[in-house]
Amino acid sequence: MITFAAGPSKVYDKLPQYMMDAYAQGILSANHRSAVFMNLYQETETLMREKLHMPEGYKLLFTSSATENWEIITQSIVQSAGCHIFSGSFGKKWFEYAKYIEPKTFAHKIDAEETINVEALQIGNDYDLVALTQNETSNATQVHNATIAAIANKYPEKMIAVDTTSSMAGIELDFNLADIWYASVQKCFGLPAGLGLLIVSPKAIAKAKDKGEVGRYNSLNFMLENAENYQTHYTPNVFGIYLLNRVLQDMPEIQHVDKHTRDRMRMLEDAIAYTSKFRLLIQNPDARSSTVMAVTGREEFISEIKKNAEKEGMQLGSGYGALKPTSFRIANFPAITDQEMERLITFLKKY
Amino acid sequence: MITFAAGPSKVYDKLPQYMMDAYAQGILSANHRSAVFMNLYQETETLMREKLHMPEGYKLLFTSSATENWEIITQSIVQSAGCHIFSGSFGKKWFEYAKYIEPKTFAHKIDAEETINVEALQIGNDYDLVALTQNETSNATQVHNATIAAIANKYPEKMIAVDTTSSMAGIELDFNLADIWYASVQKCFGLPAGLGLLIVSPKAIAKAKDKGEVGRYNSLNFMLENAENYQTHYTPNVFGIYLLNRVLQDMPEIQHVDKHTRDRMRMLEDAIAYTSKFRLLIQNPDARSSTVMAVTGREEFISEIKKNAEKEGMQLGSGYGALKPTSFRIANFPAITDQEMERLITFLKKY
């Protein structure tokens, strides 16, 4: 069964080999204060610079999940409050976690078909952080680098934090435009779940130090203190970090991945345009995600296509929340091979 | 290289097969809200009851690490303050994390050679939780079930929380005696690091509900709400949970593991008694751990034995903190085979 679900998704076909290598090399028993681990961490960070163009001075940190990252940002960086701009369920969840820690957190909800109107955007001095969900997995929308650039340009004194849980390593992100970026490895990195990535700029590091929040097991200052020596604030998922390292080694530079992702998404969109029973959930091409596609149709057709796909060994992702009965989603993640995607496209074109 | 370190330690020899099975069965891509995951969680909890004798009504929860568990307990269960009884570095760290959340947290430090004198113990009404480090990995001491029983008997109205990071699944713990138990899988469970276990009694669950702490990503009430449906509060390390499930299936019931652990520790102690250059760090047999041994000697001999062991393909664990130059530690964990332990014993007897 090939899974096209955008939750924990297909892992790279080479994983079994890497898992065996990890076992043979003793990585599964490596102490997280040892040179073996510190080298692995440093090398993985270097690979993030080489392959994903993470800028010099930006620091890679390991957490348990994107959910934990939601909280760390408000806990350890936000000084007054965050202004959260979102259109879907994950953006809303992030807002809710942040609001619990800082009740003055503001929600600026936009429609899924809408892009952020930066010109009209008014964010007052009460907000020192702008929170963006770059790729909203629930409704398959995205925010472009150009929009992030425009916000950064309009509000140079504010921090920008960007949720790229299901887009980092799938499309090219201009990390210089924002201060906090995060992701989960079970999406575009094509790895088993259980590891969150958090990337912070020198400005974010300085702000965390200035805020001075300490004492929690995941206080950013404590994490950074450990990370200076390429260590972590708790016994981490060393196995997951090793697998991440191997997958990054294999990866072409992100601009090539980006082109491939976008080209393939166009092929998928063409296939849906070809069908008579389905249409894209998001009609506005400027709002539409490059890594996750949502397709909508009448309830009976959605149920039928999911069943028929399963019969042919393919699992379509369900729609999210209220959209579950009337939509399905397809992950356009790099670990899915072109051959697998072609098989799906051939199948979709039958409708 | 066989590692006898008590940090992330030797994993079970069958792990490669289980890793391949996980890949082949698609577990690495399983959604954590799917029936596949829910069944895995439920089955793993049942195995914890069957193999480790976790009582009915006690709930198994998954976290990122023991470090996170330290915090969850004070955050979500403690209503007034905890009284922490400890002799070593990890007990002290737990106290410090707890104190940050609740400044009234009390430290009752005892000597490593000392056992808890329950008769003389006076814990006032200001403390609603007693925190014990059942197995203190830093100095290789332990607290017996009988001592926990005596505390529970003396203070039936208080909660007891027990750190068994490096003893759970290695010795028999009487879970009925306390309300909160936790561990990490990279110790006696013989698994790769990256997963913490938290076990809570019905009394602890009721107390968490009564306290009503919510809103944090790891609020115990939120975790419990998810766990009711065998789901988790974040995308968990599904791979790690699958490996835990497989290892639990293989495990004999804990009383047999317990006997084996204690018998083997006696053999190790005999080997050290046989040497002229080393002695056990902990002289009091009642205070000494069954799963971790600390051996002390002159700095030059410690350095020499560690080097020689490496030459023979065996890695001894370093002493912890200030004890590093004058001691080494040996993990007596179930994943280490008798053959490997015999090789170590033969080696030790040369000194």
- What ipTM goes with this model? 0.96
Strands, DSSP E only, in A66-128? 82-86, 106-109
Q: Of A89, A74, A59, nearest to A228 (Cα)?
A: A59
> Cβ of A194 and B237 within 8 Å?
yes
Q: Which residues, in sequence order, are CB contacts of A159 under 8 Å at separation 6+?
A: A77, A78, A128, A129, A130, A178, A179, A180, A203, A204, A207
**The token pair that represents B228 in the structure block:** 């009711």
What phi and psi, each to the nearest 5 degrees, are found at residue A99?
-65, -35
Distance (Å, whole) CA B183 – CA B133:
11
Distance (Å, whole) CA A260 – CA A150:
26
DSSP summary character for residue A64: S
Distance (Å, whole) CA B280 – CA B274:
11
**The token pair that represents A109 in the structure block:** 């909800």
> Cβ of A65 and B26 within 8 Å?
no
Give the C-alpha distances (Å, rounded to integers) separating B31 from A24, B191, B212: 29, 22, 29
Q: Of B6, B171, B159, nearest to B90 (Cα)?
A: B6
Buried b vs exposed e over B21-58: b needs ≥16 C-beta within 10 Å? ebbeebbbbbbbebebbbebbeebbebbeebbbbeeeb
Task: Give the model's pLDDT for residue B261.
Answer: 98
Bridge partner residues of A162 (DSSP): A132, A181
Distance (Å, whole) CA B230 – CA B214:
19
Distance (Å, whole) CA B2 – CA A324:
50
> Cβ of A11 and B29 within 8 Å?
yes
> Cβ of A11 and B1 within 8 Å?
no
Q: Which helix (DSSP H) or strand (DSSP E) does residue A24 occupy?
A: helix A15-24
Residues of chain B with pLDDT > 70: what percent? 100
Task: Give the model's pLDDT for residue B332.
Answer: 98
Q: Of B92, B136, B95, nearest to B114 (Cα)?
A: B136
Classify B215 in phi/psi space as left (phi over 0), alpha (psi -120 to 50) or beta: left
Task: Give the model's pLDDT for residue B320.
Answer: 93
Q: Tell me the nearest-neighbour CA distance from A187 into chain B, angstroms.
A: 10
Give the C-alpha distances (Å, rounded to integers) separating A229 from A95, A201, A222, B55, B64: 32, 17, 12, 42, 21
Instruction: Find the mean pLDDT for residues A316-342.
Output: 96
> Cβ of B71 and A216 within 8 Å?
yes
Chain A residues in contact with B19 (beta carbon < 8 A): 16, 19-20, 23
Chain B residues in contact with A8 (beta carbon < 8 A): 28-32, 235, 238
Tens of pLDDT, residues A259-280: 999 999 999 999 999 999 999 9
Confidence at A14, pLDDT banded by 50, 70, 90? very high
SS3 content of chain B, % helix, strand, coil (to 5): 45, 15, 40
Q: Which residues, in sequence order, are CB contacts of A120 under 8 Å at separation 6+?
A: none
Runs of H (alpha helix) within chain B: 15-24, 35-52, 66-76, 89-101, 145-154, 202-211, 220-227, 238-250, 254-274, 299-311, 338-348
Place of tokens 């707890």: B98
Query: Is A71:A51 a contact under the CB 8 Å cutoff?
Result: no
Selected residue of A237, A314, A329, A340 to mutate for chain B interface (largest B Cβ count, 10 A): A237
Q: Which amino acid is at A43?
A: E
> Cβ of A217 and B67 within 8 Å?
yes
Place of tokens 């039928």: A304
Distance (Å, whole) CA B65 – CA B149:
26
Task: Give the model's pLDDT for residue A233.
Answer: 94
Q: Of B73, B302, B260, B82, nearest to B172 (Cα)?
A: B260
Instruction: Find the mean pLDDT for residues B85-102.
Output: 97
> In the sheet that A317-318 helps form, which strands lie side by side, from edge to edge?
A278-280, A292-297, A327-331, A317-318
**Least CB–CB distance from B31: residue in A7, A15, A100:** A7
Q: Which residue of B has its CA nearest to A236?
A: B194
Confidence at B121, pLDDT banded by 50, 70, 90? very high
Tens of pLDDT, residues A172-199: 999 999 999 999 999 999 999 999 999 9
For residue A7, pLDDT over 90 is answered with no
CA-based Rg of chain A, rounded to a whole angstrom?
A: 20
Annotate A220-245 with DSSP letters as a single string: HHHHHHHHTTT--SS---HHHHHHHH
Tens of pLDDT, residues A127-172: 999 999 999 999 999 999 999 999 999 999 999 999 999 999 999 9
Task: Give the model's pLDDT for residue B165.
Answer: 97
Q: Which helix (DSSP H) or strand (DSSP E) does residue A91 occupy?
A: helix A89-101
Give the C-alpha distances (Å, rounded to integers) separating A308 from A27, A278, A324, A348: 42, 15, 17, 10
Tens of pLDDT, residues B78-88: 999 999 999 99
Selected residue of A64, A97, A182, A314 to mutate for chain B interface (largest B Cβ count, 10 A): A64
Burial classification of residue B347, based on how many CB atoms lie within 10 Å of its CB (0-12 exposed, 13-18 middle, 19 or more buried): middle
Burial classification of residue A118, based on how many CB atoms lie within 10 Å of its CB (0-12 exposed, 13-18 middle, 19 or more buried): middle
**Least CB–CB distance from B237: residue in A10, A193, A233:** A193
Q: Which residue of B has its CA nearest to A215?
A: B100
> Cβ of B66 and A11 within 8 Å?
no
Task: Give the model's pLDDT for residue B7.
Answer: 84
> Cβ of B237 and A20 within 8 Å?
no
Distance (Å, whole) CA A45 – CA B194:
19
Distance (Å, whole) CA B334 – CA B291:
9
Distance (Å, whole) CA A278 – CA A283:
12
Task: Give the model's pLDDT for residue A144.
Answer: 98
Chain A residues in contact with B69 (beta carbon < 8 A): none
Selected residue of A29, A213, A316 to mutate for chain B interface (largest B Cβ count, 10 A): A29
**Least CB–CB distance from A28: residue in B65, B192, B234:** B192
Task: Give the model's pLDDT for residue A262.
Answer: 98
Task: Give the model's pLDDT for residue A118.
Answer: 98
Task: Give the model's pLDDT for residue A259.
Answer: 98
> Cβ of A20 and B19 within 8 Å?
yes
Chain A residues in contact with B65 (beta carbon < 8 A): 234-236
> What are the structural domains, with CATH classification, of chain A?
2-8+253-348 (3.90.1150.10), 15-250 (3.40.640.10)
Distance (Å, whole) CA B127 – CA A169:
49
Distance (Å, whole) CA B5 – CA B202:
35
**The token pair that represents A151 in the structure block:** 């916000």
Q: What dihedral angle (degrees, nearest 10) is formed by the CA atoms of A109, A115, A119, A125?
A: 30
Q: Which residues, in sequence order, are CB contacts of B240 under 8 Å at separation 6+?
A: A194, A237, B185, B191, B192, B194, B195
Strand bridging mode A292-297 / A327-331: antiparallel
